[in-house]
């Protein structure tokens, strides 16, 4: 079946460090791919998306490219801030539902 695998956390970085959170997926067909972010005590916020191969989603300095050949959608940011501390979820959309990875907790220290 369809599935999403994310790198395990927690990930701890210093402010202004480079961030990569790995995400790979298994799916039939051509799903859309998403990154969501969850701050403590809140729901999920859509961070970025890509709907077809080679699309690059970007938002608030975060980027991810839909790589069909490696079935990956890695999240990157060049310079993280303390305010980026949150849990990040990779997800694919297929058949009217989202399938999520297990989430990666990011902690950014000043």
Partner 1 sequence: KAGVTQTPRYLIKTRGQQVTLSCSPISGHRSVSWYQQTPGQGLQFLFEYFSETQRNKGNFPGRFSGRQFSNSRSEMNVSTLELGDSALYLCASSPGTGRDEGYTFGSGTRLTVV
Examine residue 100 and tell whether it contacts partner 1 (CB under 8 A).
yes
Site stretch for partner 1 (CB under 8 A), options 20-28, 64-72, 78-86, 88-96 = 88-96
Examine residue 29 and tell whether it contacts partner 1 (CB under 8 A).
no
How far apart CA 84 and CA 45 sit, in angstroms, is 13
Q: Work out which of 21, 86, 99, 108 binds partner 1, going by CB under 8 A.
A: 99
Encoded one letter per residue, x for contact with partner 1 by CB under 8 A and - for no contact, window 37-76 reads -----xxxxx--x-x-------------------------
Nearer to partner 1, 42 or 69 (CB): 42
* CA distances in angstroms from 103 to 29, 39, 55, 87, listed in the order given: 24, 12, 22, 6
Please state whether beta strands 104-109 and 86-94 pair in parallel, antiparallel, or not at all (unpaired).
antiparallel
Rg (CA), the chain: 13
CB 78 within 8 A of CB 33: no
Examine residue 93 and tell whether it contacts partner 1 (CB under 8 A).
yes
């Amino acid at each position: 079946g369809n599935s999403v695998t994310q790198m395990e956390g927690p990930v701890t970085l210093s402010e202004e460090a480079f961030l990569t959170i790995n995400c790979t997926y298994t799916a039939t067909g051509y799903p859309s791919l998403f990154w969501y972010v969850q701050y403590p005590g809140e729901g999920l916020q859509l961070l970025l998306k890509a709907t077809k191969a080679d699309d690059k989603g970007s938002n608030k300095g975060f980027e991810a490219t839909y790589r069909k050949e490696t079935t990956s959608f890695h999240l990157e940011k060049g310079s993280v801030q303390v305010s980026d501390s949150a849990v990040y979820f990779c997800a694919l959309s297929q058949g009217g539902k989202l399938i999520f990875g297990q989430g990666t907790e990011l902690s950014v220290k000043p």
